[in-house]
Amino acid sequence: MSALNMLFLFLRFITIFSILILLINPKFEQISLSIEKPNLIVAVDNSNSILHLGQEAKVTSLVDRLANDKKLKEKFNIQFYTFGEQLKASDSITFTEKQTNINNAFNQLAQIYRQSISPTILITDGNQTYGSDYSYTNYKQPIYPVICGDTIQYTDLKIEQLNVNRYAYLKNLFPIEAILNYNGDSSVSSRFIVANGSTVVYSENISFSRENNSKIINFNLPASSVGVHVYKATLEPLKSEKNTINNSKNFAVEVMDQKTKIALVTDFIHPDLGAIKKSIESNEQRFVSILNPNEVLNQINDFQLVILYQPNNKFNKLYESLNSENKNRFTVIGTKSDINFLNKINPSYSYEITNQLESYQAALNKNYGAFLIDDMDFESFPPLNSHYGLATFTVPFETILNKTVNRVSKNNPLLATFETNGRREAVLFGENIWQWRAQSYLNNKSFNAFDDFIGKLVQYLATNKLKSRLNIEYDSFYYGNGNVIIRAEYFDKNYVFDARETLNIVVKDIVSNETKTFPLILKNTNYQVDLSSLPPSEYQFTVSTSKEKIASSGSFKLLEYNVEQQFLNADVTKLQQLATSSNGKSYFIDSTENMVNDFLSDNRYVTIQKNNKNSLPLIDWNYLLIIIALSLSLEWFLRKYNGLI
């Protein structure tokens, strides 16, 4: 056999052998080694209380020492976080956070470090200003609190809490509840004073002892004039007190000249009625009366808004009265509504009659322009029950919520508003809105989001103010420990939300006449600005657009209060309990010399070597295809060159 034939035989063998390997597809195992170090989480309290207790230098020094310890970095993956209201992945410490939520920090860490070994150093004074009690956290990692602050108990008087409504009504008395605490061993006397400016409006002598160390005072103040009234409550300090900041608290009350009265009219009982009433009355400026169609007729002029819940032919006289008085109204149409009656009595819209029922979910129309609406994740809400069919409007209308079925839009309103003949109306094509309020609570752990949504709808319907292209939303006063957020919404000439405009706010301090300008940032379907950096004072502001030169103005008061300055000591007991319950250990900030050695010698935290075995099919080996292509190409070339093909 010639050498050339041997070469052809060899190339053909390589080709067939490679193809057979691909058909059989054998597998081989690949083993790789990896080293996994345990995590060491360092969570630092970035709130203002650390600064107030004079611990900022010690905390910063400890964080630097942990970050630069070579042995610690060899054994652990060190991750630094700061927390105040929210947890942040950072080692930049400013001690400027106005609130502390330790439990929220643990909840967020628990989501990040669910399975890995991650002992956690918690550098804090343990003073939490809001949130659930962190000593009952579900965080599964060992916790090592480093306690910052003085542990000596000083004699101290403190206004623990002031309970007062934000609103009052002219010529009425508004109630105030003050909770006063005393920390000390001897019997002392003081005086509790409430002042409006330089005028003392209430005072009472108070006595405390070691056994009787708490007092609750209830009293009423008159609402004599309309507007925002600022008061200062003071518990006169003792001569020996170290912290006198917690002896005073500012509070404010906005006095209104009237209360909005709303009639909720129905002829049968339904859970929606209670949900609507509670949502509306969450704003103390509003009062809801549940009446039947006949009861409301004689007092129709006492109400600024009438809600018609699933009307039928029993509402005939009520509709006549509403039309004659040109009253604003909100109609809820459900499975028990008389569609024939509604189509006859209401010329603004009609509903298709099919004698079938359907469940519709909601999708927010982000271009709705009458007032600001926050997206509450409406798509997660349960469906509302209604008649199957489409609504047809004979007047211009705006859709707040669209109907969807299985997340497919029906291009038909579920909740809409319109203005006709100088009055405002809204219509909801569905019942069981009580389930929305319950779902909102499950989503946010609060009814506030849903109640605010209903409140804005009611506020729009209860007034006849002309529509504006620039709407602003703000409170008349803010407390210094909260966020000062002002929202704005801008629409083009067709009342479609315009995200291309540039909005600015000019804020003027009425006391100092200082003026500052801030840009508003686009966030979802509105513009926002955070003015929390402003000092306590009284302010006027103007929000304006840069292109259309449209402006809207308002004013608010920012009250002085820093909850982080109310503490004298670290919460040693709770932090030590936290360490014990989590199988960790507590340290004081002045005695952390042995902490690093404790971590290095703890046998629970060791580096783990992992073997990763991967089964790789040979069909994934691309070189086989290259070999087949080369062998076939070379055989063809040689045969061609030698004249065999």
The hierarchical CATH code for the domain 260-461 is 3.40.50.880
Stretch 537-555: mean pLDDT: 91
Contacts of 74 (CB under 8 A, 6+ apart): none
Q: Distance between CA 571 and CA 568 in Å, rounded?
A: 10
Domain residue extents for the chain = 3-34+611-641, 38-152+569-606, 156-256, 260-461, 470-563
Structure tokens at 139: 């965080």
- The rounded mean pLDDT for the chain is 87
Extended beta strands in 546-602, E state: 551-559, 587-588
Higher pLDDT among residues 630 and 204, named by residue: 204
Reported confidence tier of residue 532, pLDDT bands at 50, 70, 90: confident
Q: How far is CA 616 from CA 27, 620, 625, in A?
A: 6, 7, 16
Q: Distance between CA 619 and CA 5 in Å, rounded?
A: 30
Q: How far is CA 106 from CA 102, 131, 142, 167, in A?
A: 6, 11, 12, 36
Contacts of 35 (CB under 8 A, 6+ apart): 607, 608, 609, 610
Does the domain spanning 156-256 belong to CATH 1.10.3720.10?
A: no
Q: Distance between CA 629 and CA 645 in Å, rounded?
A: 19
Question: What are the tens digits of pLDDT across the range 336-386?
Answer: 999 999 999 988 999 988 888 889 999 998 888 777 788 888 888 999 998
Per CATH, 156-256 and 260-461 having the same topology is answered: no
Question: What are the tens digits of pLDDT across the range 213-271?
Answer: 999 999 999 998 888 888 999 999 988 888 888 899 888 998 887 778 999 999 999 99
The confidence score (pLDDT) of residue 271 equals: 94
The confidence score (pLDDT) of residue 30 equals: 67
Q: Can you give the three-state secondary structure of 86-135, one letter per residue? A: CEECCCCCCCCECCCCHHHHHHHHHHHCCCCCCCEEEEECCCCCCCCCHH
Reported confidence tier of residue 485, pLDDT bands at 50, 70, 90: very high
DSSP-derived letter for residue 305 is E
The confidence score (pLDDT) of residue 31 equals: 65
Cβ burial 516-551 (10 Å sphere, 16+ → b, else e): eebebeeeebbbebebeebebebbebebbbeeeebe
The confidence score (pLDDT) of residue 628 equals: 79
Question: What are the tens digits of pLDDT across the range 9-59?
Answer: 887 888 887 777 777 776 666 666 667 889 999 999 999 889 888 899 999
Q: Residue 185 pLDDT > 90, yes or no? A: no
Q: Which residue bears the tokens 């379907």?
A: 525
Q: Distance between CA 462 and CA 306 in Å, rounded?
A: 9
The confidence score (pLDDT) of residue 611 equals: 67
Question: What are the tens digits of pLDDT across the range 420-462?
Answer: 888 899 999 999 999 999 999 998 888 989 999 999 899 889 8
Question: What are the tens digits of pLDDT across the range 315-339?
Answer: 999 999 999 888 999 999 999 999 9
Question: What are the tens digits of pLDDT across the range 48-102?
Answer: 889 888 899 999 999 999 999 999 999 999 999 999 989 999 878 999 888 899 9
Q: Distance between CA 498 and CA 515 in Å, rounded?
A: 28
Structure tokens at 301: 């002029």
- Which run of H or E residues covers position 599? helix 595-601
Going by their DSSP bridges, the two strands 39-45 and 77-83 should be labelled as: parallel
Question: What are the tens digits of pLDDT across the range 377-408?
Answer: 888 899 999 888 888 999 989 999 999 988 78
Question: What are the tens digits of pLDDT across the range 549-590?
Answer: 899 999 999 988 777 777 778 889 899 999 999 999 999 998
3-state secondary structure of 576: helix
Q: Determine contact, residues 121/40, Cβ cutoff 8 Å.
A: yes
DSSP-derived letter for residue 343 is H
Structure tokens at 34: 């990896």
- Which run of H or E residues covers position 292? none
The confidence score (pLDDT) of residue 87 equals: 92
The confidence score (pLDDT) of residue 28 equals: 64
Q: Can you give the three-state secondary structure of 306-317, one letter per residue? A: EEEECCCHHHHH
Question: What are the tens digits of pLDDT across the range 266-298?
Answer: 999 999 999 999 999 988 788 999 999 999 998
Q: Distance between CA 259 and CA 285 in Å, rounded?
A: 5
The confidence score (pLDDT) of residue 215 equals: 93
Lowest mean pLDDT among 10-19, 119-128, 636-645: 636-645
The hierarchical CATH code for the domain 38-152+569-606 is 3.40.50.410
Q: Distance between CA 128 and CA 102 in Å, rounded?
A: 6
The confidence score (pLDDT) of residue 466 equals: 61
Q: Distance between CA 399 and CA 418 in Å, rounded?
A: 9
Q: How many residues does the chain have?
A: 645
Stretch 477-494: mean pLDDT: 83
Q: Residue 1 pLDDT > 60, yes or no? A: no
Q: Which residue bears the tokens 């009952």?
A: 136
The confidence score (pLDDT) of residue 577 equals: 92
Contacts of 642 (CB under 8 A, 6+ apart): 4
Edge to edge, what strands does the sheet with 173-183 contain? Answer: 156-164, 173-183, 214-222
Query: Could you write out the DSSP letters of every residue in 2-25?
Result: -HHHHHHHHHHHHHHHHHHHHHH-
The confidence score (pLDDT) of residue 494 equals: 67
Does the domain spanning 470-563 belong to CATH 3.50.50.60?
A: no
- Which run of H or E residues covers position 391? strand 391-393
Question: What are the tens digits of pLDDT across the range 496-529?
Answer: 778 888 999 999 999 999 999 999 999 877 899 9
As separate numbers, helices (DSSP H) first and strands (DSSP E) second, the chain gives 13, 36
